[in-house]
Amino acid sequence: IVNTGDDFEHLGLQISPDLDTVCYMLAGIHNPETGWGRADETFQSFDQLELLGGPTWFRLGDRDLATHLERTRRLQAGDTLSQVTADFCQAWGIAPTVLPMSNHSIPTIVLTDQGELAFQEYFVHQQCRPAVTGFRFEGIQQASPAPGVIEAIIEADCVVICPSNPWVSIDPILHLPGILQSLEGKSVVGVSPIIGGQALKGPAAKMYTELGISPSAIAVADHYGDLLAGFVLDDVDKNLTKPLTMKCLITDTIMKEESDRLRLGEEVLSFAREL
């Protein structure tokens, strides 16, 4: 179940950054160096766009453009994001079911010392420089989970909250009507994205600091609170488990290679079974 609060329209195209990152990774066509976009990418279209004076602050590779062009065409023709995502996954040979959190538009708005900013304006264009004061998920109370989301949670043996930014990658999902209710009684395991007080990628630690919270694995566990039955911390933070009331797994959570992802996934699922 993937956050769509980052989704936005750019150059007339419907962009779903988190969905594409997850799908490209599962399809084995992701760019391992950047963490976003496709492998063996070229940017000739955007080189020409720059020459013509167009906006290039959010760069789209030539292979990546096909994804956005076809998604936009399909959505304008009346298909839902769920339908488009399912068909893309089939085309890319992705076996797991990848679900957008909602078919409704729920843009994440970042509240900053420079006013309210759309997420990609804050994250990419402004490069996370403005100080964060809060977040708003526009229209979330009127939105609903995409087909299959609630069913997937209800049918799951366990639910893993992956090591993503709690504020802008996980909270949009959790705040959708019906999600927290469907998680009641479930074995939920959270994996900390904060290691040694730092985020390996992205602005999570910076956001915690600017919101007046010391960035740490403890802060992440506190963020999710009673939702968690178990929590996974990195070896670096093994001394932080004492104040935590839920059961903890301490392991190497840094994922540099595919083998690291597979190992961590197996360890987290084994831990969930114990719970």
CB of 158 closer than 8 Å to CB of 199: no
pLDDT at 84 over 90: yes
Q: What percent of the chain has pLDDT over 70?
A: 100
Q: What is the mean pLDDT of the chain?
A: 96
pTM of structure: 0.95
The dihedral through the CA atoms of 231, 209, 37, 2 has a sign that is positive
Interval 153-170 mean pLDDT: 96
> Which pLDDT score is estimated for 207?
97
pLDDT tens digits, 112-149: 999 999 999 999 999 999 999 999 999 999 999 999 99
Q: Is the pLDDT of residue 97 over 90?
A: yes
Q: Whole-angstrom Cα distance, residue 138 to residue 107? A: 5
Tokens of 252: 């190497």
Q: 173-198: string of b/e by CB count within 10 Å (b at 16+)?
A: bebbeebeebbeeebbbbbbbbbebe
Distances (CA, A) of 164 to 12, 143, 167: 28, 22, 9
